[in-house]
Each structure stands twice: as structure tokens, then as C-alpha cells.
Chain A
Amino acid sequence: MSDIGLILSIGVIVVGLLWLTIRSLTGREVERRIIFLFIGISVAIPLLFNITVSEKATPIVKGIYDKVENLPSGSKILISFDYGPSMAPEVEPMSDAFLRHALAKGHKVFIMGLWATGQSLGAAAVDKIVKPEFPDKVDGVDYINIGYKAGNQGVLNVIITDFRKMYATDVNGVDLDSVEIFENIRSLKDMDLILCVGGGFPGIKEWVLFAADPGNIPLAGGSAAVATPLLYPYYPKQLIGLLGGIKGAAEYESEMKKNYPRFADMPTPGLNMMGPQTLAHMVVMAFIVIGNLSFFFAKRRKK
């Protein structure tokens, strides 16, 4: 049944695009609402029929994976949730994957956020991943969520010298001086790796400028695709690796699935999302072609 639906809907897209292409030969433009409609359909269909594609990790993604993998168990990894719900579909798979990987490897995980929204998203990640999947991990011993403080990069400016100047307690109001995980932690410089997940301001760039660079702390991150090209100049010197958009997340997920039997059945939102992506990209490319065709034929006619 679903196969029939799939073939039917793909058929509709293909026939529709063909019709528009033929129409463009007379130099006619496509109205924007038709483009909107096609984009909507091309994203909805793979989602409804669950089409997936396979991925292989590129070196820039592998860089992070190997770093997390090669740090000795018990290393301190800080994950910063620097995004809001609106960006979450794209970057949440990354923070989820980082969290899972770090905990599975036995690292100590510190969660914080430079975005107000990051605090609750961090807490949600703990509820969604840590508690059900890693029941033996203890809050305050194996992981901690210290939450959000206002001040954007100013926060980094402060905690690079002293956490306690900004953070007195974790999100649950527990004094940082009383938790085991914070015993030998003074500042960001005591972290073995910082993983920033974001895509706006403040985000990875601010982490580079205000933490990794001045403090010489290894930094890697996951970024919304829009900000990723901008971060390439920091790779590989100032950034160990980078997950660019959902494709990066999908690559990281497939790497985890490949190497950890326990993650074979984990949810892979990144991989799942590559189906709609592929179709939507093709539709966009088709419209670029159609646009150029109508442009050329309109110009010819004028001559």
C-alpha cells in the first residue's frame, strides 16, 4: 500500500516538474506559490513513507568522533546547548549523539547553555537520553547540568577564569562546591574537550573567540548548516572537527551505529532526515534549471 502511495506521489512530482519544464520553453515564469507547493510535497512524502539513505563519515566529522573515542575514560567533556527550539530539528540530533557517545565512553559530561532556551533543552536531553538509556549514571557524579546564564560571550569571558563567579549552583539549585563532578574544576581550562552545538549567536564562533583560543582548550562542535561554511576557517587549527547541518549529524550517527552494538537500534533523526533532504534538493535544482530555461527562451523570443 505504502509503495503505491510512494510511487504515485513521486510520479506527481516528476510529471509536475516535466510539465513546468516544457512550459518554460515558451519563456513563461513559474509563480512562487507553485514552487512553495512543490517544496512542501517533496518534504512531506519521504517523511510519510520513511525513505532513508546511507551515509559515510567525512574526515571533518570523523575528527570529533575519534577525539571522543580516544580520550581516556573519565575525561571531562562540556556540551554547550547554544540553540533554541526553532533550530532544534537540525542540531538536536548532534547534541543527542554527543551526549550518548560521551556517556557510553564513560566520560564526565557537563551541560550548559549560552542560550536561555538551551537550559531547558539540556534538561530535556537528560530526561530523554541519560535517565532511560544510562540508568547507572548519577547526576552530580557522571554528569551535571549547570544551565544558562545571561551575558552571551560575556559568560565565557568569566568562566574561562572561574566557573563559580558565574555559576553558584546547577539547574536544580545544588551548590557546585558540594558535587563530586566539580571537585577539581575551576574554570573552562579544566575541560578536556568542549562540544558546542549551535548555529546562531552566541555559538561556536564565540566559543572559539572567548574560550578555545584564549584558553587553549580543544573545541569541536555541531552547527546549523547555515553557519558551517563560516566555521571552516577555524578547522582544523581551532576546531578539531565540525558537524555541518543534518548531514554531519547523520554521518556521526552512522559512525556510532557502526562501532557500538548498543546503538544499533538508537533513534537516528539525522539519518531519517536525509530522505526529505535529497528530494527537496532535487526539486530546488529542477527549479533552477527551469528558471534558466525560461530566462533563455524569453530572451530569444525578444530577439
Chain B
Amino acid sequence: MRLKLLFLSCLLLIFICTSAFTQDEAVVADSLETTAETISPAPATSLTAIDKPDDHGHGIDLSWELSADDGGGLMSVMGYMIYRATSPDGSYEARSGLLLNVTAYSDVGAMNEGENDYMPDYTDYYYKVRALTTDSAVFADSEILGPVQSFGQWFNWKRLSVLLLVAGFLFLTVYFIQKAKGGAKLFVRRLAGIEAVDEAIGRATEMGKPILYVLGLGTAADIATIASYTILSRVAKKVAEYQTGLIVPCYDPIVMAIAQETVKTSYMNAGRADAYNEDMVYFVTNQQFAYVAGVNGVMLRDRPATNIYMGKFYAESLILAETGVAAGSIQIAGTDEISQIPFFVVACDYTLIGEELYAASAYLGKEPLLLGSLKAQDYAKACLIFLAIIGFITLMFGYHGIVDFFHVAG
């Protein structure tokens, strides 16, 4: 409890401090009274230009105030264009298209020499904003502003809150893993879907029928798929012990490679390396519905006693699950694809909802290291709820610090 408070207050303190950070100082140009021609509009005023913050250079942020004749006065200004030169009286080139009703623009160029539109850093630039009317011959230039230079930053301050969250989470995870290593008992609630897995394997063994394990449509780039390997390894180990059949049709070749590795290891760990067969884990095809057609075929022809769906699923979820129902299999599903959870909930016997899928991989092992990270996750949730409630209260009193903290611009 003390730790929780400490952590929270640290977090609070840090972002209150950071919200006090100030930006680079801007070069400000005073407005200039133009001796206007009879129909020439008023120019844009208060032009400012600073290096674009939080980038890798090659960008300058401009801002100005609307011409008095834009939306008022003569009502003649249609829009603005940005012009740039490398000396105050050099030749100015247009740097933007027509900008309508805006007062800010980022002039960003290419980063590498030789590219079109290359914009070197540490070079003096001079800017002016031109207020345009519908008549291309009638316009007004603002005062020339400069010199301004662009340069790169080493750190993106806009993303500080993200970094703090990562650091906080890392801290919690490492802390609880250490605690778990030290032998502390960590409670984890029951996950019905996972407990059903063992039961379902037993049933398949009794019936002498195989188990179908579907890793879904995820690629190796999906965390859900990676979580699914852990569950697969557990299932494979049990299956090896019980000498039941296992069928793992795959959608992605890389996923297939990893799944083969996982199943093979599980069989070896169960001491039944001899029972492992390369054809248990195989590639079907890399197209959603062709894959479904293939898996449907397996369901009706090999009649697996249990179908386990874990990973990323899209529209095919219900086709799979309903075919499984027709085939009379017990079905356990888990996915983090929110739009498909309802279909699994409706058609399957057990469903792991979203986060439960990741938790399952930790839960299954009951290893202290993995459980420690679950605990960290819960603490993060608690912190979040706590912060949010404080946020609401402070918001009522007009303090926006907490809300802003969660608003990441860049």
C-alpha cells in the first residue's frame, strides 16, 4: 500500500513538473503599417517563426495573426501563402499551397541532401506570409521575418508522458517479478476458459478424437498470436502425455514455423519426442476465407472433440464456431479482436475476453515471473482508475494537468 502511494505521488509530481516546461523562445516580428494601395488588403501580422520542436530538424513552425481584411474589414482576403528565402532580399519561393483561414504552418523539408526539397539545418531562412485575394495581382506581404534556423532535437518532449508510463510500468513489472522470485505468494483469480482446457483434453482422450488448435489469422507481429503459443505449448504437452491427436492448421508461414518449434519442444518436454509428427502443424493458406474453408473441412472430416481458438480472429470467427457447433465439438476461444469477441461468446462454450488471453499465458504456467507481471498489470489498472477519479475532481476545479497528461500531441 505504501509503495502504491509512493509510486502515484511520484507520477503526479513528475508530470506536474513537466507541464511547467517552456518552449524555445520565439522570434517575434512586430506588425508593420503598410501604406495600402486602394484595394490592397491588410497584411497578416505578428509573424513568428521557431524551429519545429521535437523533431529531427528540417522543419520550422510559423504562426501569424489573420489579416484585418480576413473575415472583417474589406473581407477581401481569401487565404495565405508562405514564402521563404535564404537572405532578406533574396528570391522568395512559395513553401505552401493556399492556406485557408489558418494562422499556423509547419514548413518541413526533406532530410537528406540530394532529395527534392532538401532543407538543411543551421541555415538562415527568411519568411513572409502573403495574404491573397481572389485577384492574383492584389495581395499583401507581411513584414519579413528572420533569420530563423531549423535544427534537430535529441528528445521528443511531447512524448514524455508515454516514456513515463513505460518507465512506471517497467518498474512495477520488475518489482513484482523480484517479489515473486523472493517467494511471495501471488493470488490469481480463476479463468474458467483456461480451466476448461484441461477438461476438454481429457474428454478428447476418452473419445479417442483429436484436438484442433487454431492460432487465428494473426501474423507473428501480433501479440495475441504470441500469447497463443504459450497456451499451445501447454495444450501440446498435455496432448503428448495423454497421447491424443493434435491438429494445428496455420495461416501464416512464420506463425507455422514458430508453432512447429513450440509443439516439438512440448512433446520433448513431455518425454514423447517420438510421438511428434511434422504434419501436426501445417500451413493451409494465407487467405482468410480459403483458410476457413480448409479448417471447416478438418472439423467435419476429422471430427475433433475439442476446438481451441486462440489469437487474432476476424470475420471468420463465427463461421468456425458455428461449424464447430454443427460438428458437436466443445469449443474454447480467446481473442483480443474486440469486434469478434461477441461471436465467440455467443457460439463457444468458454471465451477468454481480450486481456484474459494474455493473462492466460501467465496463468497457465503459474510461474512466479509471469504472475508478477500480471500483478503489475493490475496495479497499473488501479493507478489508472485512481488517476482518472482525481482527474475528474481536479477538472471540476478547473485544473487540466491530469487530463493534459493523457493528451499526447505528437
Seen from chain A, the residues whose Cβ lies within 8 Å of a Cβ on chain B are: 32, 72, 86, 162, 164, 177, 184, 186, 190, 200-201, 214, 226-227, 229-230
B residues within 8 A CB of A230?
338-339
User: A138 CA to B319 CA in the complex, in Å?
Assistant: 44
Residue A226 contacts which of B97, B289, B315 (CB distance < 8 angstroms)?
A: B315
Assess the B289–A86 pair: CB atoms within 8 A.
yes
Q: Report if B116 contacts A (CB, 8 A).
A: yes
Chain B, residue nearest A76 (CB): B97
Task: Identify which of B97, B288, B326, B338 gathers the most chain A CB atoms within 10 Å of its CB.
Answer: B97
Q: How far is the CB of A285 from chain B (nearest CB, A)?
A: 16
Chain B, residue nearest A71 (CB): B100
Q: How far is the CB of B98 from chain A (nearest CB, A)?
A: 9
* Given A162-B110, A214-B410, A226-B339: A184 and B314 interface contact (C-beta under 8 Å): no
Q: How far is the CB of A146 from chain B (nearest CB, A)?
A: 17
Name the interface residues of B68-99: CB closer than 8 Å to any CB of A.
96-97
Assess the B339–A227 pair: CB atoms within 8 A.
yes
Q: Report if B117 contacts A (CB, 8 A).
A: yes
User: A72 CA to B315 CA in the complex, in Å?
Assistant: 39
Chain A, residue nearest B410 (CB): A214
A residues within 8 A CB of B314?
200-201
Assess the A177–B339 pair: CB atoms within 8 A.
no
| Known A164-B116, A184-B97, A186-B117; further 17 A-B contacts with Cβ < 8 A | A72-B100, A86-B288, A177-B116, A184-B96, A186-B108, A186-B110, A190-B97, A200-B314, A200-B315, A201-B314, A214-B410, A226-B315, A226-B339, A227-B339, A229-B339, A230-B338, A230-B339
User: A226 CA to B326 CA in the complex, in Å?
Assistant: 23
User: A229 CA to B100 CA in the complex, in Å?
Assistant: 34
Q: How far is the CB of A70 from chain B (nearest CB, A)?
A: 11
B residues within 8 A CB of A72?
100
CB-CB contacts of B279-305 with A at 8 A, as 1s and 0s? 000000000110000000000000000
User: A190 CA to B289 CA in the complex, in Å?
Assistant: 37
CB-CB contacts of B184-220 with A at 8 A, as 1s and 0s? 0000000000000000000000000000000000000
Q: How far is the CB of A235 from chain B (nearest CB, A)?
A: 16
Chain B, residue nearest A190 (CB): B97
Q: How far is the CB of B95 from chain A (nearest CB, A)?
A: 10
Chain A, residue nearest B322 (CB): A32
Would you call the interface of chain A mostly helix, strand, loop, or mixed? helix
Name the interface residues of B99-155: CB closer than 8 Å to any CB of A.
100, 108, 110, 116-117
15 contacts between A and B (CB under 8 A): A72-B100, A86-B288, A162-B110, A164-B116, A184-B96, A186-B108, A186-B110, A186-B117, A200-B314, A200-B315, A201-B314, A214-B410, A227-B339, A229-B339, A230-B339
Chain A, residue nearest B340 (CB): A226
A residues within 8 A CB of B116?
164, 177
Leading 9 A-B pairs by shortest Cβ distance: A184-B97, A230-B339, A226-B339, A227-B339, A230-B338, A200-B314, A72-B100, A86-B289, A226-B315
Q: How far is the CB of A177 from chain B (nearest CB, A)?
A: 7
User: A162 CA to B96 CA in the complex, in Å?
Assistant: 16
Chain A, residue nearest B117 (CB): A186
Chain B, residue nearest A231 (CB): B339
User: A201 CA to B217 CA in the complex, in Å?
Assistant: 10
B residues within 8 A CB of A201?
314
CB-CB contacts of B259-293 with A at 8 A, as 1s and 0s? 00000000000000000000000000000110000
B residues within 8 A CB of A190?
97
Q: How far is the CB of B62 from chain A (nearest CB, A)?
A: 15
User: A201 CA to B110 CA in the complex, in Å?
Assistant: 31
Chain A, residue nearest B317 (CB): A226
Assess the B326–A32 pair: CB atoms within 8 A.
yes
A residues within 8 A CB of B96?
184
A residues within 8 A CB of B288?
86
B residues within 8 A CB of A214?
410
B residues within 8 A CB of A229?
339
User: A32 CA to B327 CA in the complex, in Å?
Assistant: 13
User: A184 CA to B98 CA in the complex, in Å?
Assistant: 11
Q: How far is the CB of B339 from chain A (nearest CB, A)?
A: 5
User: A86 CA to B135 CA in the complex, in Å?
Assistant: 50
Q: How far is the CB of B398 from chain A (nearest CB, A)?
A: 21
User: A143 CA to B342 CA in the complex, in Å?
Assistant: 40
User: A57 CA to B117 CA in the complex, in Å?
Assistant: 44
Task: Identify which of B117, B288, B289, B339 gathers the most chain A CB atoms within 10 Å of its CB.
Answer: B339
B residues within 8 A CB of A226?
315, 339
CB-CB contacts of B369-410 with A at 8 A, as 1s and 0s? 000000000000000000000000000000000000000001
User: A150 CA to B338 CA in the complex, in Å?
Assistant: 25
Q: How far is the CB of A207 from chain B (nearest CB, A)?
A: 16
Chain B, residue nearest A164 (CB): B116
Name the interface residues of B303-356: CB closer than 8 Å to any CB of A.
314-315, 326, 338-339
User: A226 CA to B337 CA in the complex, in Å?
Assistant: 12
Q: How far is the CB of A286 from chain B (nearest CB, A)?
A: 18
A residues within 8 A CB of B315?
200, 226
A residues within 8 A CB of B110?
162, 186
A residues within 8 A CB of B326?
32
User: A16 CA to B116 CA in the complex, in Å?
Assistant: 70
A residues within 8 A CB of B117?
186
User: A226 CA to B117 CA in the complex, in Å?
Assistant: 43
